Amino acid sequence: MDIKNHNYVLVGLSVLLMLAVIASVCIGAVHIRVNQLWSMISYHMGLSHEATFTSQQLAVMLNLRLPRVLSGVLIGAALGIAGSAVQGLFRNPLAEPGLIGISSGATLFAALSIVFGGKLLSIMGSSHSYYMLSVASFGGAFITSLAVYKLAMRKGRTMITALLLTGIAINALAFSFTGLLTYISTDEQLRNLTFWSLGSLGGSSWLTAGSILPFVLIPLIVLPFMGKALNAISLGETQAVHMGFNVNKIKRTVLLLATMCVGASVAVAGMISFAGLVVPHMIRIGFGADNRLVIPGSAILGAATLTLTDLVSRSVVAPAELPIGIVTALAGSPVFIYMISVQIKKQQV
């Protein structure tokens, strides 16, 4: 598939994302019709002076729907792009940030900052708690991904067994520490911890969306330029060096950017598993394995998928909400099992 067709695919995915966003901001406890959405936009842009919407609808749109959908779009894009980039780097389509322990490393650090962060901040006399959560999750994600990489890579090849076992070990470690933290946390902190380990976009606000924006935007801009290099790495790290790529620099960059994505999403929405696994896989099945398409494509499709998943998770048991992590895991695990069976057939596990 050549570059021109790549662009068609990306445009098609963007249309899908637009539709997902429109559906997501309109559907909910307070229903907003599409023509009312249009009226809101044209009224605020000064194109029309006639308002066909109620002030309650406008308040819901501005204060609840928009920030939540924006968070969903950012986190979905972040998880999709991080998944595809990490899979390219590890040379394995099963390397998902959640599976190999990166997300739970981030969750552990987020939990630590929930329980101990308040004290630390009061000592320092600062109030940037949202940023602290982002920074802590990012730090956790980065430390674990570095550890996983060191343990699982030998001579430029991923030891897939080592990779998955390391993931299991780190997941177990992170969960047990998070469990320990529940004993010393207050009631409110406990609610926060549960919320984080299941994943939810329920806490979204303009503040949370704004606090992750830089963490997501930088990878979204830079990672698509790594497509060629990651294609070359799919031949082997030595081969990529022979083709003129500075593999060590690429590794560091991809790992740093992917952990920024995972850290940011954990900070706002907690553990959302399998999104980074399933989304790139769908792109590969549909349009081929070329990373020049898979990386930007996973960002857009990830955003669309997570927006729709969030819509499902807050609609099916309305007025209550399902944690989004449960929905993604329910949908993602069968796909994962299918992928494993394919890999076993190819004798790559």
Partner 1 sequence: MIKVNGIAYSVGKKEILSDVSFQARPGEVMAVIGANGAGKSTLLKLLCNEMMPSAGHIEFNGKRLKDYPLNELARKRSVLTQHNTLSLSFTVRELVLMGRYPHFNGQPTGHDLQMVDEAMLAAGVSMMAARTYETLSGGEQQRVQLARVIAQVKDVPNGWLFLDEPTNGLDILHQQQLLIQARNMADNGFGIICILHDINLAAAYADQLMILKQGKVQALGSPKEVVTCENIHNAFGIKVELMKNENFNCPLVITTGRFKYNS
Give the span between the Cα atoms of 93 and 87, in whole angstroms.
Answer: 5
Number of DSSP helices (H) and strands (E) in the chain, helices first: 15, 2
Alpha helices, DSSP H, located in 29-98: 34-44, 55-60, 66-90
Tell me whether residue 56 or residue 347 sits nearer to partner 1 (CB atom). Answer: 347
Binding site for partner 1 (CB under 8 A): 3, 88, 91-93, 228, 231-232, 234-236, 238-239, 241-246, 284, 288-291, 346
Distance between start and end Cα atoms, the chain = 28
The sign one gets for the Cα dihedral 106, 112, 115, 121 is: negative
Nearer to partner 1, 66 or 289 (CB): 289
Task: Give the H or E element holding residue 246.
Answer: none
**Residue 98 CB, nearest approach to partner 1 (Å):** 20
Nearest to partner 1 of 194, 234 (CB atom):
234
Which run of H or E residues covers position 153? strand 153-154
Exposure string of 50-84, with b = 16+ CB inside 10 Å and e = fewer, is eeebeeebbebbeebbbbbbbbbbbbbbbbbbbbb
22 versus 339: smaller Cβ distance to partner 1: 339
To partner 1, the closest distance from the beta carbon of 230 in angstroms equals 9
Nearer to partner 1, 235 or 330 (CB): 235
Instruction: Supply the minimum distance, in Å, between the C-beta of residue 248 and partner 1.
Output: 10
Task: Report which DSSP code applies to 223.
Answer: G
Name 3's Cβ contacts closer than 8 Å, sequence gap at least 6. 292
Residue with smaller CB distance to partner 1, 118 or 236 = 236
Cβ 249 to partner 1, closest distance in Å? 10
Which of the 8 DSSP states describes residue 318?
Answer: T
Least distance from partner 1 to the Cβ atom of residue 38, Å:
37
| Closer residue to partner 1 (CB): 243 or 335 | 243
Minimum separation from the CB atom of position 197 to partner 1 (A): 32
The crossing angle, in degrees rounded to 10, of helices 206-222 and 66-90 is 30
Give me the amino acid identity at 235: L
Q: Which is nearer to partner 1, 228 or 251 (CB)?
A: 228
Contact 106, 170 (CB under 8 A): no
Give me the least distance between CB of 119 and partner 1, in Å please: 46
Least CB distance to partner 1 at residue 92 (A): 6
Inter-residue contact 86 to 96 (CB < 8 Å): yes
